Amino acid sequence: MGGRRNGSAARRGRGGPVRTPAGVRRPGRGVRQCVRGRISGHPAREGQVVPKYEDAVPCQNYERRSAVFRPRIGIIGTGWWATRHHIPSLLASGQCDVAALADSDPQRLAVAAQHFGLAKTYATADEMFAGTELDGVIVAVPHCDHYPVVRTALVHDVHVLVEKPMTLLSVDAWDLVRLAGDRGLHLLVGFTYQYTKSARRCRDALQDGQIGDLMLVSGFYSSSAGIHYRGAAGAEGADAKYPLMKPQAATYRDPAVAGGGQGQTQLSHTAAMVSWATGQRPADVAAYMSDCDLPVDLVDAVSFRLESGAVGSVASTGSLPEGEVGHHELRYHGTAGHVIQNLRLGRVEVHRYGAGVEVIDAADEGAYPSQEPARTLVRLILGSGDNPAPGAAAAHATEFVEAAYRSRDLGRPVAITELDGQPQTTRQQDRS
Ligand SMILES: NC(=O)c1ccc[n+]([C@@H]2O[C@H](COP(=O)([O-])OP(=O)(O)OC[C@H]3O[C@@H](n4cnc5c(N)ncnc54)[C@H](O)[C@@H]3O)[C@@H](O)[C@H]2O)c1
């Protein structure tokens, strides 16, 4: 398979070979993804291919790239998270060039460009692709824009790391998964906990049958994200949580922008971990949510059934005061043992009944390795490593969260097969 071109460069008629080292093969359209199953019984998605997570992008077809190849990475959305973690992580890695920045807010764009000493800036993703050749992008814009911006990037044949939640609607998430697979592009999602050794160990224990057949999942996720739903984020400054800039108020508190509160912003982490670690898709979801007089939900309780028949419940609150440490935990009970996953401590206990306990303590890699997603994108472009947060598992998380909001609005359990790409919540419809 020959090298691929950045679409924008190709359209402008720039001649010459693609900037890839000699001998490098990029996976292309001819390389098919493995098929895990097909959705049936849903009019909008009958026959839709659900890729097996690890095989959605055929990474094994990459060959080692030469040491001189430095992927060119663009950043779309130069807000809090990108300037706090992704851009510093890329610059410190020494393995890539941060080639361009794009942000629709000229002031935030200028602040980021000046702070990091980066010259190429654009107001939109389209302008960025027209003006700069790129190998990958990091998309860190508000939730409602994840889908259109990522789609634009994939159409321009660049690899993508998109922040969580992947999209607000599952129909959009699957569209991106299909598009990335068809074009042989990496699609990673910023579910940071999945980038840890302990999470991999947890997944191995569950998927290798070490606790027998999974019967029950229970989870809890508390945080201080409520400050964002209240629009009460603290001060910006060198020693603060927001060294360069804090999030824009609408990003987390406007339902039309964020798609919801705790469900989109925090519970999505739990939903993604459950899907990725168990390798299972949710089947039915029933939710209660309370917004505590905020514009979006603050406290969520969700019960669910996975496609294997295992059942579960997860609860999440964003009500902690700023600075208070939250608890992020999942427990998986099987017929032959159970796994306790403490996400925040990077600690996993695998209990096999009659065979003792194995403890994996990966605290050394940091409680929350926020630098890893950006570096993983670069490593994948360079042809090494694997994708610990692939689009397909993230699409299952989108299904879970979308169904949870719909269940809240309808006051009954919602089957994933009911999701059809309609606006996510009736509340959103009311507002539009
Ligand atoms: N993985 C994590 O733990 C984590 C933590 C925080 C935030 N995030 C995610 O990162 C994303 C950004 O969050 P944030 O806190 O940095 O928000 P933010 O408000 O600080 O930044 C968003 C930026 O995107 C820009 N923008 C909006 N629409 C755009 C568009 N269409 N094209 C280009 N720029 C656009 C805005 O002007 C703003 O500067 C969100 O998806 C959020 O959930 C993830």
**Whether the CB of 379 sits within 6 Å of ligand 1:** no
| Six-digit token string for 397 | 């998380």
Q: Which range in 51-65, 189-203, 238-252 is most confidently predicted, on average pLDDT?
A: 189-203
Which pLDDT band holds residue 365 (cuts at 50, 70, 90)? confident
CA-nearest of 186, 149, 196 to 378 is 186
Which pLDDT band holds residue 57 (cuts at 50, 70, 90)? very low
d(CA 348, CA 198): 6
Is residue 270 a contact partner of residue 302, using CB atoms and an 8 Å limit?
no
| 272 CA from centroid of ligand 1 (Å) | 19
One domain, residues 113 and 91: yes
Which pLDDT band holds residue 58 (cuts at 50, 70, 90)? very low
Residue 381, domain member (yes or no): no
- Least confident range from 27-31, 285-289, 335-339, 350-354: namely 27-31
**Whether the CB of 224 sits within 6 Å of ligand 1:** no
One domain, residues 101 and 206: no
Quote the number of domains for the chain. Answer: 2
Indicate the angle between helix axes 170-183 and 391-410, nearest 10 degrees: 170
**pLDDT at position 372 over 50:** yes
Nearest Cα residue to atom 1 of ligand 1: 190
| 376 CA from centroid of ligand 1 (Å) | 19
% the chain with pLDDT above 70: 81
One domain, residues 80 and 201: no
d(CA 134, CA 365): 30
% the chain with pLDDT above 90: 75
- Least confident range from 52-56, 136-140, 263-267: namely 52-56
One domain, residues 159 and 69: yes
d(CA 362, CA 370): 15
Pocket test for ligand 1, best of 103, 149, 266 (most atoms within 8 A of CB): 103
One domain, residues 26 and 69: yes
From 170, 192, 214, give the residue that closes a domain: 192
- Neighbouring C-alpha atoms within 13 Å toward the C-beta of 78: 30
One domain, residues 250 and 349: yes
**Whether the CB of 103 sits within 6 Å of ligand 1:** yes
Pocket test for ligand 1, best of 75, 101, 104, 147 (most atoms within 8 A of CB): 104
| 189 CA from centroid of ligand 1 (Å) | 13
One domain, residues 149 and 221: no
Write out pLDDT tens, residues 158-190.
Answer: 999 999 999 999 999 999 999 999 999 999 999
**pLDDT at position 41 over 60:** no
Number of helices and strands in the chain (H, E): 16, 17
**pLDDT at position 10 over 80:** no
d(CA 141, CA 386): 25
**Whether the CB of 145 sits within 6 Å of ligand 1:** yes
**Domain span at residue 228?**
194-366+390-431
| 82 CA from centroid of ligand 1 (Å) | 7
Q: Which residue has the tokens 């095989």?
A: 55
| Six-digit token string for 292 | 């505590």
Write out pLDDT tens, residues 113-164.
Answer: 999 999 999 999 999 999 999 999 999 999 999 999 999 999 999 999 999 9
Is residue 52 a contact partner of residue 35, using CB atoms and an 8 Å limit?
yes
**pLDDT at position 311 over 90:** yes
Residue 84, domain member (yes or no): yes
Structure-model confidence comparison of residues 425 and 40, the more confident one: 425
**pLDDT at site 45:** 41
Is residue 269 a contact partner of residue 310, using CB atoms and an 8 Å limit?
no
Q: Average of pLDDT values for 55-63?
A: 37
| 254 CA from centroid of ligand 1 (Å) | 13
Residue 376, domain member (yes or no): no
**pLDDT at site 106:** 98
One domain, residues 181 and 218: no
Alpha helices in 2-100 (DSSP H): 7-11, 80-81, 87-93
Residue 91, domain member (yes or no): yes
| 318 CA from centroid of ligand 1 (Å) | 18
Question: Domain of 204: which CATH number?
Answer: 3.30.360.10
**Whether the CB of 163 sits within 6 Å of ligand 1:** yes
**pLDDT at site 259:** 98
**pLDDT at position 369 over 60:** yes
Buried b (16+ CB within 10 A) or exposed e, 179-203: bbbebbbbbbbbbbbbbbbbbbbbb
One domain, residues 251 and 202: yes
Residue 377, domain member (yes or no): no
From 192, 209, 231, give the residue that closes a domain: 192
Q: Average of pLDDT values for 101-121?
A: 97
Which pLDDT band holds residue 421 (cuts at 50, 70, 90)? low
Query: What ligand 1 atom has the least distance to the C-alpha of 191?
Result: 1
Which pLDDT band holds residue 3 (cuts at 50, 70, 90)? very low
One domain, residues 118 and 250: no
Question: Domain of 143: which CATH number?
Answer: 3.40.50.720
**Whether the CB of 151 sits within 6 Å of ligand 1:** no
d(CA 186, CA 34): 15
Q: Average of pLDDT values for 23-42?
A: 32
**Whether the CB of 164 sits within 6 Å of ligand 1:** yes
Is residue 373 a contact partner of residue 140, using CB atoms and an 8 Å limit?
no
**Whether the CB of 372 sits within 6 Å of ligand 1:** no
Residue 161, domain member (yes or no): yes
57 contacts: CB under 8 Å, gap ≥ 6: 27, 33, 180, 181, 184, 185, 186, 187, 387, 390
**pLDDT at site 245:** 94
Query: What ligand 1 atom has the least distance to the C-alpha of 105?
Result: 37
Residue 251, domain member (yes or no): yes
One domain, residues 151 and 280: no
- Least confident range from 92-96, 238-242, 358-362: namely 238-242
**pLDDT at position 5 over 60:** no
One domain, residues 56 and 120: yes
E strands present in 6-135: 35-38, 49-51, 72-76, 97-102, 121-122
| 42 CA from centroid of ligand 1 (Å) | 33
Q: Average of pLDDT values for 270-291?
A: 97
**Mean pLDDT for all residues in the chain:** 85
**Whether the CB of 80 sits within 6 Å of ligand 1:** yes
Mapped onto helix, strand or coil, the DSSP state of residue 324 is coil
CA 379 remoteness from chain centre: 17
**pLDDT at position 270 over 70:** yes
Is residue 100 a contact partner of residue 134, using CB atoms and an 8 Å limit?
yes
From 192, 209, 229, give the residue that closes a domain: 192
Is residue 374 a contact partner of residue 138, using CB atoms and an 8 Å limit?
yes
Tell me the CA distances in angstroms from 254 to 100, 164, 184, one per residue in order: 28, 17, 35
Is residue 418 a contact partner of residue 170, using CB atoms and an 8 Å limit?
no
- Least confident range from 152-166, 304-318, 413-427: namely 413-427
Residue 301, domain member (yes or no): yes
**pLDDT at site 361:** 87
DSSP 342-358: ETTTTEEEEEETTS-EE
Which pLDDT band holds residue 241 (cuts at 50, 70, 90)? confident
